[in-house]
Structure formats: C-alpha cells, structure tokens
Amino acid sequence: MLSFITSFLPTSYLLPGWLIPDINPVDSLLQGVVGACGISVLCCLLRVHLFLEESNKNDKGEGTTSQQLRSKTGLVGLFHFLVVAGILAVVGSRVASLVVLEFSLRSISGLLTAGPDSRKFLQQLFIQSQFSLGCALICSLSFLHEGASQRWLCLLLAAALSWFLERQASGLLHHVTALYRLHSSQRYCGICICLLTTGSRLLPLLCRAMIITFSVAALAAVSIINRHFLSAAEALRFWTPLTICYTLLVVYMQEEQHRMPSGQAVLNSVVVRLGGLMVLMLTVGRWADVLHILMCFLGEASCLIPTKDLLDAASSQVEEDYTDYRKRERQQRPQAHRREHLR
C-alpha cells in the first residue's frame, strides 16, 4: 500500500536521478529510528559503565559523577533523538556501508596497536562509534530485508523493539545515577546488587555486542557496494583507491591520536575521515554519495558534541588509573631495594 501511495509522488520528473532515494522514505525513516535507538542504548550503557567505575573508586560518595553522566531527557533528548534519526534516514545505504568499512578497519588496526592502553582505546572507540553504529544497523537492515514483500512491516517491528530497548536502557541509567549509591550500600535493590557484583562485565558485554554488529554490517556493506557494479573491472576501479585511502587514513589518525588530547583528536579524526571519503567519492562516486557524506558530517557532530562528557569522563578515569599505577610503583621500589639489601 505504501508503494502504491508513493508512486503518485512527482519525484521522478521534478528531481534529478541522484536525488531520488533508493528505497521508500517510510522505510528509510524506520531504519533511521532503529539506528538512533541503537546509538541511544550504547550511550546509556556507556554512562552506566563509567558511573560504576567512578563509584567503585569514590568511597566518599561525592555526587559529581551522577550529575555529569546523566543523559539528556525531556524535549532536549527527544529533539536530539529525532535529529539523529532524520540524518540516518537521509544517509543512503551505500555511504553508510563505506562508513562501516572504514570504522571496522580503523578499530581492528587500533586494537592491534593499542598495547597496554587497550582499555583507554576501547572506551574512546565506543564513544567514537556512535554514528558508525547507526550506519551499521542501517546496512544490516537494508541487506536482511532486501526483497521482502512486507518490508515496511518488518522495519516497523524492528523499530518498536529498538524503542523498547532504548526505554529500558534509559530507565536503567536514570535508576543507577539516582539511586545506585543508596541501594548498593543498603543491599535491598536487585538491579543495583546485580550491577555491584557483575558490573565489571558490562564493558566486555558491549565489546562482544559491537563485534557481532559490525561483523554482520561489514558483510552487508560489501554486498551493498558490489550491488552497484556491472563488472569486475568496474569494482576493481572502485575498491583499489578506496583501500589505499582507508589505509592511509588509519595510519595518519593513529599518529595524530598519540600527539593530541583525546577530544581534539576525535574531532580532527572525523574531519579527516569524512573529508578523505568525500574527495574519494568526488573521484569515483556519485553526486548522491557526496550529498550523503555531507549529512554524515552533521551526523557525527550530532553524536559526538552532546556526548563530550563521556569522552572527558573516560579520559579522567584513565589519568587516575595511571596516577594510581605510578604511586603503587613508587611504593614497591623501596620494598624491592630492601629485599635485595637483606639478601
């Protein structure tokens, strides 16, 4: 029925071909809602993890962290959700596939070269992966529902389930930031007791979920990109500069992250990544791809700017861990010298 209604829209003769969306606008909007819900769930669970980490270190019970790590609620939170969902709905599956492949390559390379700072890199990677996660969900949905007779109904069910999970994650974050210190000390709330005993497993659980999500999305992305090529030679002309560009970008960003502070490095990496991708699309892509990459700039900004407190909290915790490590190292040195002297 939706395709019958949209067939009367005069887009085919009023707009150029590269401005006409590949799929039904209603399907695109539902995919955007699913992607925005996934981003919101990730942010809520990251806030819960950082709050638990800070609460375990802070025995005095100062309430600064609960104020800093609360998510935006009310009209501001709803407006932010609608903006992210709208941007993800506009971004096509082709450019979303390129974003997913670039993030997958960057995350694998970063984890292999992180070394002892792997925990710091993992937390920063989760914060940077917000918009890429939305693109990954779009790619997976577009690939899994391709050719479905009732695609809009499947996407509607997926959007309803995503909205339910987002409400549960937001409720968990609100409960933890407001009542965790009281309930964990009194030991009478099942949720807080469970987080007190198994809260350290939250970050590995998020890591496994992200690995599964981006593995499926990477396979879907390769299939979606190859769908637009008519021959192997045409595919080779596209994949060769894309691979070279991605490799150079990954090497450049790895060096920049070691030289600059975390927040500035994240913002610079967004400009460099999407700028390089835009130059590549101007060479071997389509005008629709360039338009969608411009929307990706807005999407990355709408995800990173409101969650700057997450990046600051993760960076401060890493600095505290390093300070504690240096103190323990200084305390252990005199003891080692004494043992050697006694021998």
Mean pLDDT by groups of 10 residues along the chain of 343 residues: 46 47 79 94 90 72 52 78 92 87 82 67 83 93 84 91 93 87 77 82 90 93 79 70 71 61 66 76 75 88 84 63 50 56 56
Q: Look at residue 38 in the predicted model and tell me its pLDDT.
A: 94
> Whole-prediction pTM value?
0.81
8 A C-beta contact, residue 305 and residue 86: no
Q: Look at residue 157 in the predicted model and tell me its pLDDT.
A: 93
Q: Look at residue 64 in the predicted model and tell me its pLDDT.
A: 46
Q: Look at residue 8 in the predicted model and tell me its pLDDT.
A: 46
Q: Look at residue 70 in the predicted model and tell me its pLDDT.
A: 63
Q: Look at residue 257 in the predicted model and tell me its pLDDT.
A: 59
Handedness of CA 53, 59, 65, 69 (dihedral sign): positive
Q: Look at residue 218 in the predicted model and tell me its pLDDT.
A: 92
8 A C-beta contact, residue 95 and residue 292: yes
Q: Look at residue 7 in the predicted model and tell me its pLDDT.
A: 47
